[in-house]
Amino acid sequence: MIKRKLKDIQSMVKGKGLKEKNNDIYIEGVSTDTRSIKKGQLFVPIIGENFDGHKFIEKAIENGAVASLWGESHPVPDIDFPFIIVNDTLKAIQTLSKEYRNQLSIKIVGITGSNGKTSTKDILSSIFNTKYKTYKTQGNLNNELGVPLTLLSIDEDIEMAVVEMGMSGLGEIEILTKMASPDAAIITNIGTAHLEQLKTRDNIIKAKLEIVKGLKQDGLFVYHGDDESLRSAVKALDIPQEKHTFGENQSNDYIVEKLSADIDGLRFKIKNINSPEFFLPMLGNHQIFNASAAIAIARHFGLSFDLIKKGLENLELTGMRSELLKGDGFDILNDSYNSNPDSTKAALKTLNSLDTYDQRIVVFGDMLELGEEEINMHREIGEEIDFEKVDYLFTFGKLAKYAAEEAKKGISHERVFAFEDKSALINKLKEVLQNNSIILLKGSRGMKLEEISKNLLS
């Protein structure tokens, strides 16, 4: 994490107001949250829609803060405590992270995409760990505040960092990538997430491609080459950096071929680089595309096939993303961290491929932030359910019920249930659950479907 004297922090953020007697006070780390702040950290009070961090300065000091940035629009508290005055605390922490990143001897890989960002981050960091001291985005810290906190958490002896970059609108990834100055960048894919804000798929492509605006001149850009719209957009931008594509199509630089899939994971190879067979302990055929993007980056940074194989086999995933949970006579495929039509269809394909179970059940929750077409997109999921392979569909939420309506058009109503009460859903699920079953949980984070798995496993 960042460790600097306050006089250096003031210089880095172009602030003012620090008293000379406080110049040499040393901060170790930065926090915006008084609930988790640690002794010795710099407090940065952020202003949100429903809160103002400046109101919690006393709590920050009580919990160990040794100094604070302070927005100039707020009166400075009349206390003997080091304050650095800045125009805007959010912009200041972003500036601080950018300055700190520029002082680090480190290679950074930036990752964005509609789906697969976190899985790809986990895969790539696991590979890097076989050779380099590596840091990766923790949890979901991938927005305008999360990325600076990620950068400021990197220790100075770290050699590689994998930084996830999310967005909800145009212009956001440009800010993040210019902070991180990545040495390589990945676009995992382009889907329908954020249609509510961006309206069209072309706008989503435009937003994701902002990642190259911070990419170093000698950097590498890796993207999903099976997507013709993305290919065309990349060509139109005339990006000067080295570019590699991955996918199934023969025109890609990294052509991925699945060899086999079972409950333990996936076996695949990259056809056109004479690769060995790789084993990926993940569920879902789509994950081999995320792995191939990671392999392209790893090869660029000089990792051997042996190290790549080792990294894939030792993979540890961020929670609630295609995690297989073991129950008493049943398993749960928990993919409930996020959801949109593309990732839901991929999860259904994964479920359908698991043919060692006697019963398959889908629990589908609302997909949020889809915009004007949200009802039709939920109906599409209902159409997508293959009842030759799925025994029951349970929906949860006011939007997911449209998937149930659509599914009922072609199947017995006794196999489709729509709920807006989670307890009632759980009770019915327990009624139909048989031995050797698998339950897919898929829905947006806000639906909290993990509460279902906790109940079933308790």
**Quick one: which of 370, 366, 383 has its CA closest to 418?**
366
118 is annotated as contributing to ligand binding: yes
CA 339/CA 254 separation, integer angstroms = 27
125 is annotated as contributing to ligand binding: no
Contact 414, 393 (CB under 8 A): no
Which residues does 59 contact at the CB level (< 8 Å), separation at least 6? 34
Contact 306, 153 (CB under 8 A): no
CA 128 remoteness from chain centre: 18
113 is annotated as contributing to ligand binding: yes
Give me the phi and psi of 358, to 5 degrees please: -85, -20
CA 357/CA 449 separation, integer angstroms = 22
* Burial grade of 435 (CB within 10 A; 0-12, 13-18, 19 or more): exposed
**Positive/negative CA dihedral, 229, 172, 448, 262:** positive
**Quick one: which of 253, 241, 441, 232 has its CA closest to 330?**
441
Question: What tokens does 28 get?
Answer: 């170790």
Please list, residue by residue across 324-345, b when 16 or more beta carbons sit within 10 angstroms of its beta carbon and e when fewer do: bbeeeebbbbbbbbbbbbbbbb
CA 284/CA 348 separation, integer angstroms = 9
48 is annotated as contributing to ligand binding: no
The DSSP annotation for 408-432 comes to: GGGS-GGGEEEES-HHHHHHHHHHH
DSSP annotation of 43 reads E
110 is annotated as contributing to ligand binding: no
**Quick one: which of 325, 322, 320, 268 has its CA closest to 295?**
268
Which residues does 141 contact at the CB level (< 8 Å), separation at least 6? 147, 149, 150, 164
E-strand stretches of 336-400 = 359-365, 392-396
The label of the residue with tokens 């125009």 reads: 87
CA 10/CA 8 separation, integer angstroms = 5
Which residues on neighbouring strands pair with residue 161, listed in sequence order? 108, 135
**Judging by DSSP bridges, how do beta strands 265-270 and 359-365 pair with one another?**
unpaired
Contact 161, 134 (CB under 8 A): yes
Binding site listing? 113-119
Binding site listing for ATP? 113-119
